[in-house]
Amino acid sequence: METTVPTTDTLPVMEAFYTLQGEGAFQGQAAYFIRLGGCDVGCTWCDVKESWDASKHPALPVGQIVAQAARHPARLAVVTGGEPAMYPLGPLTAALKAAGFRTHIETSGAYPLTGAWDWVCFSPKKFKAPSPSVYPLAHELKVIVYHKSDLAFAEKHAAQVGPQCLRLLQPEWGKAAQMLPLLIDYVKANPHWRVSLQTHKFMDIP
C-alpha cells in the first residue's frame, strides 16, 4: 500500500470530527479526533481500512488542522489513524498545545513516537512488532481481543509497560458477543486488567 510522507508542515488527514471519546480512560469525554491516512500494519479486522493508503487523503497544513479543531469547545485532541506515528508529529503537537489542547495519540507502536503527548494509548498488533521505545511512554495499553490466544499476547506486552500504565482488554467489535464473557471472567481472575468497550458504537456516534 502506498504511503506519502508529508513535509513537517502538512499531514494526510482522512477525516477530523468532534465527538465523544468512546474507549479507554477518557471514555465519555468530548474530544476532537484527527484521523491521519496511511498505515502499513495491516490488521485483518481493521474497521477503517480506507485510511491505509495515504495518497487518497489530502495533505493539510498543520495550522489548518488546528484551526478547525479550535472551532469546538473541548480542548482534548486525539490523533489516530491509520498509524499516525508514521509521520513527524512535533509540529502538530506544538501547534495543538499552543492552542490550549491536551494531546492524545492512539498508536500501534510500530514506529517511535515524535511530538509531545499528554496521553499515549498503545495498542500493539500481531501484524507488526512495536518499537521497544514506545513501552515506557505508554499511559494506556489497549489490546484488542479477537481470539482467546490474544490474552497471552496481551500479557506479553503488559509485562513490558510501566507499572502505572492502565491495562485494557477490548473485544473486537465483530466478536464481542463471543469474547466479552471470556474477558469478564479473565479480568475477575486477573484484576490488573480492565475491560474496555467501544461505547461510541453503542451510542451510534463517530
Backbone angles phi, psi at 189, to 5 degrees: -85, -20
Q: What is d(CA 77, CA 21) in angstroms, rounded to the nearest whole number?
A: 10
Q: Is there a domain that residue 5 lies in?
A: no
Predicted structure pTM score:
0.91
Do 26 and 205 meet the contact criterion of CB atoms below 8 Å apart?
Answer: no
Sign of CA dihedral 157, 187, 82, 75: negative
Q: Is there a domain that residue 1 lies in?
A: no
Burial class of residue 1 (count of CB atoms within 10 Å of its CB; 0-12, 13-18, 19+):
exposed
Q: Is there a domain that residue 4 lies in?
A: no
Domain count, the chain: 1
Q: Note the pLDDT tens digit of each residue in 129-156.
A: 999 999 999 999 999 999 999 999 999 9
Q: Is there a domain that residue 84 lies in?
A: yes
The CATH number given to whatever domain includes residue 143 is 3.20.20.70
Domain range enclosing 83: 10-203
Q: Note the pLDDT tens digit of each residue in 14-64.
A: 999 999 999 999 999 999 999 999 998 887 777 788 888 999 999 999 999
